[in-house]
A and B are shown apart, each in its own frame.
Chain A
Amino acid sequence: MKLKLKTNNTESLKTALSLISSLRKYILLRFTPDILYVISVNGQSISQEPQVWCKLKMHAIFNQIEIQSLRDNTISLEVNVELLLQTLRNFDKANSDGLNIRLQRKESTGAQGANSGNSRTASLALFYSNINVNASTINHTFRIPVKILKNTQDLLLLKEPELHDIDLIIKLPQEFVSTYRRLDKFKRSSSNDTVCIKASRRGGGFLGFVLEEEGKYRVTISWNEKLEVLKPFQENVEGEMMIRTELQHINGDAGNIDENDPGEDKEIVVRLKDWQMASKVVSTCKTVYLLLTAKECVLHCLLEDSDEVEIIYYISGIRIRNAMEY
């Protein structure tokens, strides 16, 4: 197993990490020859909690890439996101010419215990050198402990969710982030931990958030301006593939809206907290699409206009008992 990378611009990686660093303490890095996946999932209950998949084009970030592994040249690591981020920030401040990243077996304490050979623990070494005010060259080395994921079981759990039957695709404008601020005001009331997202193609596009507490209040926050609400053409293409085609050629079915068809209205209930956690992602990314399926809603974002960094934020819907079940 070998991982040797060199970069001189960590900006996009740093931004991507900082956007998801508040979600969980640990993230997964999956290095492949083409794409670096930065994954934030909850190891125990993957399906319930929101998960984020960032895809960064290796060649856009690193100018030297060397990855070798028995598993299709893929290396998966679990790492503390704060430490990694801190190191990247230090590198940024240092005004250095290049950051090297290596996966090292060497223990970072120098204390050799019983573990060596087969252990899953290793360290990710990041190093660079810079010249300080006194013109002395200083080499910096940061060793962050990582856990190498070799287990097929670990990896099986880590599959990017596939989307089936996308109902609607909505392009969110940059200013959309202000709805997050509105919703934030309801975060504190304890009884109110879910939000119902309603979307429709009717009436020139509608996207609203309904907050309700039985017998007390019902608030609808909706986007008044015209929204691009699309319905995908193909129904049965596999999820990921389809998203990609959609994002690159936005050619959903915008016409043929039956204004009287209530079937055009879609709704999904999600946890308010899960939805709100994406606010940083939405406010930072240049291009944001909201995808609604029957079971989940997905925020598919591009950090810049190009597709070098994609961030996909999955929120699974929760089923609420409605009156029919009683």
Chain B
Amino acid sequence: MSFVGVFDSKKHTLIWSKSIMALSGLSEHIKFVISDSSLSIAAVNSAKTSHAEITFTNSFFDEYSVDFKDVMDDGYEIDYENNDTSYYSFIVNSKHLATLFRNLDAKDLDYICLKVYWSKTAPVTMQFKLLIEIKTKSLIVKKYQTNYQPVYKNSVNIAALYKKELIDNQIQIESADRIKYLMIEQIIPKQFLDMVPSSTEDFKIEVKPGKTSFTAYTKQVLKDRDYLRQPMSVTISLNPDDFPNSNFKEVFESETDYIFGINFRLKDFRNFLTLAAFITSSLALNTSEDDYVDIDSNDYFEIFFKNPGDPIIFELKNVPYVSVQFIQITSADNTEDQPVAKKVKTTFALQSNVVHRILGQESQRSKSPSVTQSIPLPLRMMSKSIGEVINFTERRFQPTNVSARPNNNMRSMSRSRSPSMSIHNYDSGEDVITYRYESERVADPEPQRQKAPTTKAKQKGKRTIINRDADTDYSESEEENDGNKKREISLGPTQLQRPKSIFD
């Protein structure tokens, strides 16, 4: 067995359920990243303005075992910069998980068990499936399984970048470009949002000398001098000294009349707060059942932000087992004195999930070779800015029918894998980019090597492919020829066409 995670306490079950619900509100897909030390689930919304990630340490689980022996290459990555930590990543349809975990009767549950068989030697029927087993107190065991699609880990490192910038000496940097850091008690925004009508859409943080204010409002719509839409705006303001920690004083001390404003959508922030409040309250009670715990006044979370247009990070870290991180792209408050929000820097851009496939198979389904494209590495696409959606025509994998294809006398590995591949080939949702790694015939492995891998990670990926190619037999020759022709006019060694947007 490759991965097993079991948790059975009521609180953990509820935290899990709330986390899944929070993410399923954001996106159609939830990404799981499993490593030896933790399991994290993440989602990014289709507009790529909002990203949420919840990390559960292995101690959150009552039983947690990870075994990367014989792991399939799809979805598997090694982070060489981080002690060679291995990760396995995949995405699951969030609707399926939401239906399953929405109305959990946590009291009645014995345990919830998550399993993934990612070993190459696992039975085909078990591959590419997330297995969920729920045992109730009434001794009924419910088993669910949902298909997943392996993806690149693609972790969002905005938080790390911000924190690094924050630690680095920033005195010489103009205050506008410095990272603003704020630690705030949960109760302040929570009580605040309780007062805000539920239809309110936007949230604004404003910093003035000696005053920090939060405003929830909805942009007005005027018609013929009358309001069509203009709900109430609610503001609270505090003295920065009342925050447990912040660097506003240092950042803004030099400029006395500086007014800084940043705004973003309220909805996801509300989500974050609800989740954070739930997690802290249940875990705080969990750790010290008998002691008097003033959960309302001592729990805080952290906010990092930079400029309008740059992401803002909300982070809850001070609870055991779980950490929550929400990232949102912000915009400028559209007052006169602010210039138009800068374009989001590509380093801070949020990315869609990228399907990770290392393949030795040729597609039989693609009608015309001209629409097939292959991209050497998805990394190439990472620098694409937001809004540029790349659509690669997805080639379907077809269950290999050995008898029907005499020239398919390839290794058994390939045959045994093919059917399972077709399973996880469900329609990729709007926010999933599918990259293909199309292997070439063995006779022509050189171009692959020439791709000059720049990182170790790449090398690793390359190596597996080449190895795989070595024992892959030749598939449809027709297709190959076309592919070769294409390559003559293409841009890169294996790139058949320039990546296209779906709007092309």
Contacts and interface: CB of A to CB of B under 8 A. Distances in A.
A236 interface: no
Interface stretch (A102-110, A221-229, A251-259, A272-280): A102-110
Contacts of B333: 110
Interface in B288-316: 294, 296-297
A108 B296 contact: no
B188 A138 contact: yes
B217 A108 contact: yes
A142 B232 contact: yes
B190 to A, nearest CB: 11
Interface of chain B, main secondary structure: mixed
B230 to A, nearest CB: 4
Contacts, number: 98
Interface size class of A (residues with CB under 8 A): 20 to 34
Interface of chain A, main secondary structure: mixed
B237 A120 contact: no
Interface stretch (B86-94, B155-163, B220-228): B220-228
Nearest to A143: B233
A121 B335 contact: no
Interface string B166-203: 00000000000000000001011001000101000000
A123 B233 CA distance: 10
A132 B188 contact: yes
A144 B232 contact: yes
A145 B220 CA distance: 10
Contact of A115 (B217, B219, B222, B233): B222
Interface size class of B (residues with CB under 8 A): 35 or more
Given A119-B225, A121-B225, A137-B242, A109 B235 contact: no
Contacts of B230: 108-109, 121, 145
A113 B226 CA distance: 13
B227 A133 contact: no
Given A107-B220, A134-B187, A138-B236, A121 B227 contact: yes
A113 B213 CA distance: 23
B235 A143 contact: yes
B320 interface: no
A136 B218 CA distance: 27
Nearest to B294: A133
Contacts of A142: 195, 232-235
A126 to B, nearest CB: 9
Interface stretch (A29-37, A83-91, A153-161, A283-291): A83-91
B238 interface: yes
Given A107-B220, A134-B242, A143-B233, A112 B335 contact: yes
A83 B231 contact: yes
A147 B227 contact: yes
Interface string B322-345: 000000000001111000000000
Nearest to B211: A139
B464 interface: no
Interface of B: 185, 187-188, 191, 195, 197, 204, 213, 217-220, 222, 225-227, 230-239, 242, 261, 294, 296-297, 333-336
20 contacts: A90-B195, A108-B232, A108-B233, A109-B218, A109-B219, A109-B220, A110-B204, A111-B334, A111-B335, A132-B188, A134-B187, A134-B297, A136-B239, A136-B242, A137-B242, A138-B237, A139-B237, A140-B235, A141-B234, A142-B233
Q: Which 5 A-B pairs have the closest CB atoms?
A: A136-B242, A108-B233, A141-B235, A145-B230, A143-B233
